[in-house]
Each structure stands twice: as C-alpha cells, then as structure tokens.
Amino acid sequence: MFKRLSLRYALPLWIIFLTLCFTIGEIAYTLKSRETSIYNNFQLLLRSDGNRLSAQIEQILREKNSLPIQQQEIRRLFSLYLTGSMTDLLLLDRHNETIASGSVYHRSDPLFKGDEEAVGKVAKSGTNIIVHDRHHRTLQGFFSVRMPPKRGELHHDGYGTLVISVSYSRALDDEYLNAYESLFLRLSAIMIVIIAIIIFLRQRVISPIASMSDTIAKIANGDAGARMDLAARDELGEIADSFNQMVETLNRQKEELERYKNDLEAQVATEISKRREQEAIMMQQSRMAGMGEMIGNIAHQWRQPLNALSLICINVKDAYDYEELTSEFLQKSTAKAEVLIRKMSTTIDDFRNFFKPDKEIGAFNLKDTVDEAYGLVDVAFTQQGIGVDIRIDPSLEVRGYKNEFSQVILNLLNNARDVLEERAVKEKKIHIRLLRKGSHIVLTLQDNGGGIPQAVLPRIFDPYFSTKEEGKGTGIGLYMSKTIIEEHHKGVLHASNEGEGACFTIILPAL
C-alpha cells in the first residue's frame, strides 16, 4: 500500500491510515468487551428470573387444582414479566404440550427451530439449560418445573419446561450508538493533530528528504558533481554533509577501481586459461582411468568365451587323436567357435561405442542408457556376487550427452562395487531407482556397503580426493561425474547416507 507514492505523500497517508486502524481497532475491542459484558449480565438476569418464575409457577400448580385457573394465573404472571428485555415465555408439561405462553411479539409459539432437543433434556433430567442465539441476539433459558402429582398419586408427575427468551439487542444497539459518537469525536480531534504533525513534517523532514532524494538520483544517473545543499543544521544537515564527503571519497575510489579492474581482467583471463588446461588434464586422466576399467571389464567378458574356445580346441584335438574327427563334428565345432568369436568382437564394439565422446546434444531414454552401462559390467558383478536391482520407468527421457551420462552411471556402479568388495559385505546389493517428480527426474543409486564417513562426505566430489588405498583410485571419477551432471546436463548430483549404505542422487530436468 502507498508503494508508488513519494515520501511527501506516503508518510502523511501512512500516519492517517495507522491512526484510523488503531482507533477503529480500539473501538472494536471495546464493543466486543461490552458485548461480552452485556451477554454475561443478561445471562445472570435470565438465571435469576427463570429460577424465581419457575418457583412461582410451581406454587400456582400446587395451589390451583383446575387447569383453566392454573392457565389464567400463569398468563397473568407472564404478563408481569414480559417487559423490557424478556420477549417470550412458554410453559410445557412433561409431554411437551403447551400449558401457557406469552410473547411481546404476539407469537403463538416462541420456540425456535432446534429447541425441542433442549426441552427434552430438561424434561428428562430436571436440569436448567441456557442457549445463546448470537444471530438473533437472544438468550433462551430452559428451566425445569416440577409438575404436581395426579389425584391419588404420591409422587410428582415429572418435570415440565419453562422457556424464557431474553433479547439484548436494544442494549447492544445503545452501546454501538455511543461507540459511534465517541469514534466521531475522537477522529475529529485526531485529524486536527495529524494535520498539525503533517505540516511540521513537511517543512522540517519531507522537503529536505525530497531534495536529498533528487541529489541521489542525479548521482545515480552519472552526475558525479551533484551535491546536497541543505541550510538546516539539524540531523538531516549532518547527513547531507556526510553524504557529500562520501561522494568525494567514492569518486576517488572509483578511479582506483578502474585501475584495479584492468589488472584483474588480465589475471582472470590467465586463471581461466589455467583452469581449462587443468580440466582438460583431468578429463584425459578420467578417460585413461576409464580405459583401465574397460580393459578389466573386457577381460571379465572374454573369460567365459575363451574357456569355451579352449574346450572346443581340446575336443577337436582329442577327436583327431582318436580318429573320431568327422566332417560333421568339425563343422559344428567351427560354427560354435565362430559364434564365440563374434560375441567377443561385439563386446569390443560395445566398449568402443561406450567411450566414444558425444559431439551433439540430444534426447535419450534413461532406462536404455542405464541398462547399457550395467551391461558392460554385469558379468564382473555376477562373478563377484553383487546383486543389482534396477527399477526404472521405461518412458522417461532427458536431453543431454548419452555417452557422458553412461560414464557417470558406470563410475557410480564401479565405486559401489569397490566399497562392497573392500568391506567384504556378505550380501552385496545395489539398488537403482528412477522416477519423475514434477518437472524433474530423480535417479538414485544406493548400496549396502555401510555408507560414507561423515568426516569425508563433504569432500568426496573434490578433485583428486579418494578414500581408496593408494594406487587403487585416481580421485577424479566423482569430480568428473558431478561436472558432467551439473555443467553439461544442468542437473544436480549429491551424496548422502541412507539405510545400510551410501546413496547417490541425480536430479535432471525432464523433457
């Protein structure tokens, strides 16, 4: 509110607004307090009149035996009470049949909707109940009346109900009228004081501040020679003098900053060049480490086919030695050998394509990419007794560099494998989950290797930092993984300890 107004207009309006809010709030609080007080007073009055009236009715019912006479006496008694705030009276027997009633509004039935339940409670238990109807500004009292015993009986005939309606609307309206008169008088006096304050502030505060604001605007627009000129010797004058001195100091510092800027630009260019060279070296080291991993994985992938080829060669030699080598046997053995050799050749092609750098960014399926990355190490993981549970939505895709993302998955899988082997976990498990959350895709890779020590957790993505033994880790795998995810794919990669091990989480923007 008032944000677009200048100080010379906003300050007076704020003073008026806050004063009105305070005054109206005080009046509202007073009215609320008076309403509560009126309600409590009327409630006490209702209890007193109800108890007294019910006692008088019980006396009439005991002394008068004839029902018409009882009704006549009770109506006469009602007419005495139906004055002022008491608006409705109703007497019911224990069967909720009307004995007598009275109303200043000449209503035949003064009961409101829903009061039958209160009448039933009073007739059953003989207790008194008061109900507040805030909408109609009324209080309804339900008082028990002991009914006299029927002729020939020793005990009374249960409880009747006396219903009394009391309205405090007139008293509350009088309070409102008084409050409005008080509000008008107080606002008139306050407005006079506010006008005097506004005149004083305009001359001594607002106008000098406006002048200072104009000077600041000139300096902000490039007029370095603008200065504040205030004749006042008060606090604002001291501020103006201090501001002028500050502007002089800033002008001198600006000249020095220009000189520093030129030197700093040259230093930044040099540091950027060094950083790029360092990143290139680290990327090359990462690729060399990846090549080492690739050779190890190829060895795992080839071990079984080579064993099978060896057996084929031995079988052929034995068949020849025992003169059992036939043309059919030789053809079958040759066909089996060709299948194994093609499989080994395919393995080489898979690894070569995997490590081929992407030249262009493009959309790729995450499930296929994760499956392909795991397919390069599945044989080694199986031989080492590592179970990998992959649950991925097959429809999820992202935009980026597929082979780089595959290298990240392979790095995380190899790290998890190294931890599980190093700590000799009995049931080695790795869980990979991939799902969509809003506009992002979240991939988690979690192992049961005991987690990452809290002392080193903040540093695991630092370059050349490794928790492995010397010679077993380069310390650049996680660093390059984080660089690929956050710089090349505009995502986030972070690590935490979850459950029985470490959990690496990748968050990527979804297509």
Mean of pLDDT values over 264-291: 70
Distance, CA of 355 to CA of 218 (rounded, Å): 60
- Beta strand 159-167 with 440-447 is unpaired
Determine the residue type at 5.
L
* 58: helix, strand or coil: helix
Distance, CA of 38 to CA of 85 (rounded, Å): 12
Q: Which of 493, 390, 376, 500 is nearest to 442 (CA)?
A: 493
- For residue 437, is pLDDT > 70? yes
Highest mean pLDDT among 9-13, 82-86, 234-238, 357-361: 82-86
Got the DSSP string for 331-374? HHHHHHHHHHHHHHHHHHHHHHHHTSPP-S-EEEEHHHHHHHHH
Place of tokens 């238990």: 125
Tokens of 155: 């005990």
358-511 folds as Heat Shock Protein 90 (3.30.565)
Tokens of 29: 């609080």
Residues forming a β-bridge with 433: 391, 444
User: Are 105 and 88 in contact, with CB atoms under 8 Å apart?
Assistant: yes
| Higher per-residue pLDDT: 438 or 255 | 438
3-state SS track over 276-341: HHHHHHHHHHHHHHHHHHHHHHHHHHHHHHHHHHHHHHHHHHHHHHCCCCCHHHHHHHHHHHHHHH
Distance, CA of 81 to CA of 74 (rounded, Å): 11
Please enumerate in sequence order all residues whose Cβ is within 8 A of that of 247, keeping only pairs 6 or more positions apart, or say none. 219, 224, 226, 227
Same fold, 7-175 and 358-511: no
Domain chopping of the chain, boundaries: 7-175, 358-511
Place of tokens 């262009």: 360
Range in 93-102, 274-283, 417-426 with the lowest mean pLDDT: 274-283
Torsion of CA 25, 30, 35, 40, to 10 degrees: 140
- For residue 503, is pLDDT > 90? yes
- For residue 31, is pLDDT > 70? yes
Q: What pLDDT is recorded for position 391? A: 93
Mean of pLDDT values over 43-64: 87
Tokens of 88: 């409705």
* 181: helix, strand or coil: helix
Please enumerate in sequence order all residues whose Cβ is within 8 A of that of 82, keeping only pairs 6 or more positions apart, or say none. 89, 102, 103, 104
Q: What pLDDT is recorded for position 299? A: 62
Please enumerate in sequence order all residues whose Cβ is within 8 A of that of 281, keeping only pairs 6 or more positions apart, or say none. none
- For residue 354, is pLDDT > 70? no
Place of tokens 């800027």: 261
Q: What are phi and psi of 29, to 5 degrees?
A: -65, -40
Q: What pLDDT is recorded for position 270? A: 81
Range in 74-78, 179-183, 267-271, 276-280 with the lowest mean pLDDT: 276-280
Distance, CA of 361 to CA of 402 (rounded, Å): 8
Q: Is 79 exposed, middle or buried (0-12, 13-18, 19+ CB in 10 A)?
A: exposed
Distance, CA of 299 to CA of 285 (rounded, Å): 21
- For residue 113, is pLDDT > 50? no
| Higher per-residue pLDDT: 237 or 68 | 68
- Between the alpha carbon of residue 356 and those of residues 49, 345, 404, the distances in Å are 99, 17, 9
Q: What pLDDT is recorded for position 468? A: 64
Mean of pLDDT values over 452-457: 90
Would you mind telling me the total number of residues written for the chain in this entry?
A: 511
Mean pLDDT (the chain) is 79
Percent of the chain with pLDDT over 70: 79
- For residue 156, is pLDDT > 80? no
Highest mean pLDDT among 82-86, 247-251, 345-349, 498-502: 498-502
Mean of pLDDT values over 191-220: 75
Q: What pLDDT is recorded for position 397? A: 92
Distance, CA of 407 to CA of 421 (rounded, Å): 21
CA angle 290, 293, 297 (to 5 degrees): 135
Got the DSSP string for 412-444? HHHHHHHHHHHTT-SSEEEEEEEEEETTEEEEE
Q: Which of 484, 420, 410 is nearest to 447 (CA)?
A: 420
Superfamily of domain 7-175: PAS domain (3.30.450.20)
Distance, CA of 331 to CA of 346 (rounded, Å): 22
What confidence category does residue 367 fall into, taking pLDDT thresholds of 50, 70 and 90? very high
- For residue 230, is pLDDT > 70? no
User: Are 312 and 325 in contact, with CB atoms under 8 Å apart?
Assistant: no
Distance, CA of 316 to CA of 326 (rounded, Å): 10
Q: Which of 103, 127, 118, 124 is nearest to 54 (CA)?
A: 127
